[in-house]
Amino acid sequence: MNNNDNNKKNLPPARSFIVFLIISIVATVILNLVITSISAPKAQEILYSDFMQMVEDDQVEEVIITADKIQIYKKPSEEQSTTDKLMQLWGVGNSEQRELYYTGYLNDPRLFDLLDQHGVKYSTPIQYSNPFLEFLLTWILPLVFIYGMFFLLSKSLSKKMGGGVMGIGQSKAKMYMQNKTGITFRDVAGQEEAKESLNEIVDFLHNPSKYTAIGAKQPKGALLVGPPGTGKTLLAKAVAGEANVPFFSLSGSEFVEMFVGVGASRVRDLFKQASQNAPCIIFIDEIDAIGKSRDNQIGSNDEREQTLNQLLAEMDGFDSSKGVVILAATNRPEILDKALLRPGRFDRRIIVEKPDLKGREAILRVHAKNVKTAPNVDLHDMALATSGAVGADLANMVNEAALRAVRLGRNVVTQEDLMEAVEVIIAGKEKKDRILSEQEKHIVAYHEVGHALATAVSKNCDPVQKITIVPRTMGALGYTMQKPEEEKYLMNKDEMLDEIVVFLAGRAAEEIVFGIKTTGAANDIERATEMARNMITLYGMSDKFGMMALESIQNRYLDGRRVSNCSAETQTLIDAEVSKTLQSCYDRAVAILKDNREALDKISEFLIDKETITGKQFMDIFNDVKASLESGETAESETEETQPPEDNSSEQ
């Protein structure tokens, strides 16, 4: 009963009648075609001589002569087939079914005399010609049909693609109202400075009078700049949610099409919609897709430049008092056109950096509020272990911890789940099916303990939290995890040199114990080389070059690609200086491990047995070995002091 009612609601009466009428017509036509195909006689081609013979044998009843063909109806036979009887029962066709033949027409003077002699009926059809009707059927109706099909198709595509001629020139911006975004500043953590800058825009949209009273103008636009995953898009949606105004969101790449002028048309349409819905917010994500500098170099694009020109004109043209605010986000501010960044267009550049320790803890609290956690969970400890992580990384870690808790059959997330999630994101999952040989296990253990010992001896390194020789899915056969005791924003030269020593201590342990070099130090060498090069080329920490910027960084928020600012000869000297720095740090690492060889052996054997040890276990063994050595040295010195002095008087 309910289904019928729903069908009636979905299908109006007028439409139901039209559908029924169309189905009836189609069914009638199909039935007639079937009956006609069954009842129509099947024609068979014969030779003209055979036709003449059939006439002489009195087998022909009637012929129809046309300009090029003769249709021959043979006299019906006395026996009636099953099909003929069925057709007669239905009342279709003749009671007597005649066989049909045809042959080509020849200008034969004997034909008509022979037909008269054998009493054959003959005739020819009259051809009626109507030039207007022929023109209508041949030209007008096909054109009308093609135009109608094109009109219906373009109308259908227009609805799907947003209007216009197949939607090409229309804006593809998605408009969200406040109740659809559902995001406010409470959902954004770790970006307090960015929220403070954007809060003024929200306040201006709510209370424009108090700003105009003093003569202040609303900022036309704000550019959100920062690494991927820091929450730029989330901040823009939060602004719309706080302001409770329409929010137009689209990507910069949606402006550009293969047709020249389409992007500019979409920009005009976007600002037209925004003016009609003011006050509102326009958010253009990845604006560098259309905002690249117009440098007329190889790779420039006329369509993109026209789109940028139109965007610049629209930003200059609209009245800021109407309450239209433009927000944009990019990871590559250095490639944007200077005209786009000048005051009056994007008045503010809001930096959305990676969060600090306090910010990471706040982000973790936001993402953990919807997750059931154990009472003893310490998010501060997790924030310390995730230095350099952005909001997207932290959200992923909390989700991984929740998945791990479910996988292990727990109904709450524990501290162990959270810290394991950090390791999964950093190094990958444990690869349990990869079994190392005893020789490889010893090499990996000594390698990782070498890192840890260099960390323990150095004064400027973060303490060890965990050492493991369990292989991970990201390629690591083992790793040493360090956890800072506090957040650091600066590093001095001694701290950087100590970090390089720690990186190279793994290779040093391999050479000291086994006398070999393995591929396991590849990542350590890469990181040590990068840090040594940064010291020399970026930070001015080289005695040879002094405070000289030898390289600069491009795409700072993405890959951090280096660009050389010096000659090829200087580059050669830089390479030599980097090699000298690395060799000096390697020699220090070798000296540290040789001085602590007993601790290296004992901790490595313990790690081989346990496969994973904590930082506390590592320090306990290290301190025990150190204490035993110191006590042994003290006992030896005391023994030497109690021995009587030798009498050398006889030698004198």
Residues marked active site are found at: 448
Q: Is the dihedral of CA 479, 484, 489, 493 positive or negative?
A: negative
Q: Based on the number of CB atoms within 10 Å of its own CB, is 17 exposed (0-12), middle (13-18) or buried (19 or more)?
A: exposed
CA distances from 391 to 17, 188, 226 (A): 58, 9, 12
CB 327, CB 224: distance < 8 Å: yes
Element spanning 338, H or E: helix 338-341
HEC per residue, 70-124: EEEEECCCCCCCHHHHHHHHHCCCCCCCCCEEEEECCCCCCHHHHHHHCCCEEEC
R_g of the chain computed on alpha carbons: 44
CA–CA–CA angle 186, 189, 193 (5° rounding): 105
State the residue for tokens 């103008």.
Answer: 217
How far is 436 from 213, CA to CA, in rounded Å?
Answer: 75
Question: Which regions of 442-515 does DSSP assign to beta strands (E)?
Answer: 464-468, 479-482
Which residues neighbour 386 within 8 Å (Cβ) at sequence distance 6 or greater?
360, 393, 394, 397, 422
Q: Give the three-class secondary structure for 221.
A: strand
Indicate left, alpha or beta for 235 from its phi (over 0: left) and psi (-120 to 50: alpha). Answer: alpha
In terms of DSSP bridges, do strands 464-468 and 479-482 run parallel, antiparallel, or are they unpaired?
antiparallel
